[in-house]
């Protein structure tokens, strides 16, 4: 995890006036859900740097992330059931940011005389008590916050969202819950796999439910191995299927506290939806 979140320079992307106009004409920064188009994409980034493209279970769209820190933040947002939309690389209205820069005497980002379009790493829609709450997030490595110019740009971004009535937060690698992110990464290969038919899904779910309630408390790898033997499956088959069920929230555990490597049958709780026969997949096919 330390290597995964080792501070690296986020690639600087500068645009000419024609490029900026073209992006807005293409609808970059517009739309919601799977129809949203990020203002910046991985292909816009110079070859150096660590960027990521991966599908979201929240809306099914491939997201464009420009650093490992953004990836770690995205893992948490995508897994959070209260969040129903995630828009990355969201452009701020240039006229508004220019006006705020003049009002508060903050130099506006520019390149070769062209005022650049500022972006926020994530604009999130969250459902709280039946109401939609928007939250803007900026991912910054802690060491970047020692740079006065970075602080100036963050302050301009903060004032922009404040003027829109949207909560804005900086997230550094120090705020990343390492255990939660490790657990999500362990489940990641099974978010978008649909190799179990509905009938097999139900059967495997019932087998694990019975095993967890019948066998003495043991690590999930041990119980999975027993199921492999009992059902004459190749070693590792049931553990893979269990990861599949965990990724689909058939069983839940305190992912922010307990690493998957220490999971036992006592730690897993059957989800209400699956217990009542609502065996819906987290990700839409």
The CATH number of whichever domain residue 243 belongs to comes to 1.10.10.10
Burial of 272 from C-beta contacts in 10 A (0-12 / 13-18 / 19+): exposed
The answer on 257 and 185 residing in a single domain is yes
- Higher per-residue confidence, 49 vs 52: 52
Strands 131-139 and 167-171, sheet pairing: parallel
The answer on 212 and 140 residing in a single domain is no
**Residue 2 domain-assigned (yes or no):** no
pLDDT surpasses 70 at 280:
no
Of the residues 141, 176, 211, the one at which a domain ends: 176
The answer on 198 and 70 residing in a single domain is no
Give one DSSP letter per residue of 11-39, joined into a string: PP----HHHHHHHHHTTTT---GGG---S
- Write the pLDDT tens digit of every residue in 165-189: 999 999 999 999 999 999 999 999 8
**Residue 280 domain-assigned (yes or no):** no
Range of the domain at 199: 179-275
What pLDDT is attached to residue 175? 95
Q: Please compute the mean of the pLDDT values over residues 216-228 and round it to a whole number.
A: 94
pLDDT surpasses 70 at 5:
no
The answer on 183 and 169 residing in a single domain is no
Q: Please compute the mean of the pLDDT values over residues 125-153 and round it to a whole number.
A: 96
The answer on 236 and 131 residing in a single domain is no
How many independent structural domains does the chain possess? 2
The answer on 193 and 56 residing in a single domain is no
The answer on 158 and 59 residing in a single domain is yes
The answer on 189 and 171 residing in a single domain is no
- Residue 133 pLDDT level (bands cut at 50, 70, 90): very high
Paired tokens of 166? 């949207």
Distance of CA 213 to the CA centre of its chain: 33
Q: Please compute the mean of the pLDDT values over residues 232-258 and round it to a whole number.
A: 95
- Write the pLDDT tens digit of every residue in 59-83: 999 999 999 999 999 999 999 999 9
The answer on 170 and 196 residing in a single domain is no
The answer on 170 and 189 residing in a single domain is no
- Measured distance CA(120)–CA(42) in Å, rounded: 15
Comparing CA positions, the residue from 91, 93, 159, 77 lying closest to residue 125 is: 77
HSE toward the beta carbon, residue 101, CA cutoff 13 A = 19
Paired tokens of 147? 């740079």
The answer on 207 and 159 residing in a single domain is no
Q: Please compute the mean of the pLDDT values over residues 213-220 and round it to a whole number.
A: 89
**Residue 283 domain-assigned (yes or no):** no
**Residue 241 domain-assigned (yes or no):** yes
The answer on 259 and 237 residing in a single domain is yes
């Amino acid at each position: 995890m330390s290597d995964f979140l080792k501070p690296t320079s986020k690639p600087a992307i500068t645009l000419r006036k024609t490029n900026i106009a073209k992006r807005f004409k293409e609808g970059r920064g517009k739309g919601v859900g799977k129809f949203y188009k990020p203002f910046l994409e991985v292909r816009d980034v110079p070859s150096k740097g660590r960027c990521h493209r991966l599908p979201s279970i929240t809306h099914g769209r491939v997201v464009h992330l420009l650093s490992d820190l953004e990836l770690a933040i995205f893992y948490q947002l995508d897994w959070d059931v209260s969040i129903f939309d995630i828009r990355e690389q969201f452009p701020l209205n240039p006229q508004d940011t220019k006006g705020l820069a003049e009002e508060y005497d903050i130099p506006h980002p520019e390149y070769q005389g062209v005022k650049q379009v500022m972006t926020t790493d994530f604009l999130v829609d969250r459902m709280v008590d039946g109401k939609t709450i928007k939250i803007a997030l900026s991912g910054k490595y802690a060491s970047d916050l020692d740079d006065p110019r970075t602080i100036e740009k963050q302050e301009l971004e903060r004032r922009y969202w404040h003027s829109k009535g949207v909560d804005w937060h900086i997230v550094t690698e120090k705020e990343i819950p390492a255990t939660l992110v490790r657990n999500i990464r362990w489940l990641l290969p099974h978010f978008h796999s649909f190799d179990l038919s509905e009938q097999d899904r139900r059967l495997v779910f019932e087998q694990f439910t019975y095993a967890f309630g019948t066998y003495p408390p043991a690590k999930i790898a041990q119980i999975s191995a027993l199921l492999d033997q009992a059902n004459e499956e190749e070693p590792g088959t049931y553990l893979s299927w269990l990861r599949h069920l965990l990724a689909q929230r058939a069983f839940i555990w305190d992912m922010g506290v307990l690493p998957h490597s220490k999971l036992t049958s006592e730690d897993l709780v059957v989800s209400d939806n699956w217990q009542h026969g609502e065996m819906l997949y987290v990700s839409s096919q």
